[in-house]
Amino acid sequence: MAQPIIKENTRVLRPFEYAQLRQGAGSISNQTRLDSLLLSGVRYVEAVRLQRHPKWLDHQFIRLPEFASRKKLRTQKERWVRLSTRGVATLPHFFESRRLPDWGTWRGDLVRWAQRSGLDPEGLGPKSLRKTWESWLLFCYPQKTMQICQSQGHTELTSLKYYANLPFTETDQQAMQEWTSGW
């Protein structure tokens, strides 16, 4: 079995690990919230605010206004987050699901769901889904690095430093396509 991918103390999931975590989440509401955070790649605080503002969803994009993030060193004041085909189908249900809990509760949920499904919870936390998504996009679409960076609100240097060159396999890439297709 492959070692967990941990960058800066945060777990980046392979597709089969995400499937395990998703299964451990149990309810459709939990899976919808999990999928929405993965497929949007937004920061946790942005997701909490997004859930209260469904009008920010504009078909294949999420428009995050300046106040959506508290991150002081963000590279863009306002940003447009591109969604995959699956993201377009999933995000409307996010607004109907239970509200996201506070950061600590969500971290506990992720750990509990991992343990329930037999996944090692090492490094799992609220940042894991965002880091996983950006890593998957860079692996599947290296020719779209600039668009990925803009969508995620990172510089190319940040993306290449933290999200590129991870030990994904061809099998991982095929499974990622189910999630990233249409991006």
Number of H helices, E strands in the chain: 9, 5
Torsion angle, alpha carbons of 42, 43, 49, 52, to 10: 40
* Assigned fold of 5-180: hpI Integrase; Chain A (1.10.443)
Q: Which run of H or of E encompasses 103?
A: helix 103-117
pLDDT category at 75 given cuts 50, 70, 90 is low
Residue 71 reports pLDDT greater than 60: no
pLDDT in tens, 84-102: 999 999 999 999 999 999 9
Residue 77 reports pLDDT greater than 90: no
Residue 63, beta-bridge partner list: 80
Task: Provide the token pair at 130.
Answer: 């965002």
Give the 3-state DSSP-derived string for 32-90, with helices as H, strands as E and coil as C: HHHHHHHHHCCCHHHHHHHHHCHHHEECCEEEECHHHCCCCCCCCCCEEEECCHHHHHH
Check residue 125 and report its DSSP letter.
Answer: S
Task: Provide the token pair at 2.
Answer: 């492959």
Domains of the chain, by residue range, sit at: 5-180
- Percent of the chain scored above 70 by pLDDT? 94
| CA Rg value for the chain | 15
pLDDT in tens, 113-164: 999 999 999 999 999 999 999 999 999 999 999 999 999 998 877 777 777 8
pLDDT category at 67 given cuts 50, 70, 90 is low
pLDDT in tens, 108-123: 999 999 999 999 999 9
Q: What is the pLDDT of residue 72?
A: 52
Kindly report the backbone phi and psi dihedral angles of residue 126, in degrees, each rounded to the nearest multiple of 5, phi listed first: -60, -25
Q: What is the pLDDT of residue 155?
A: 83
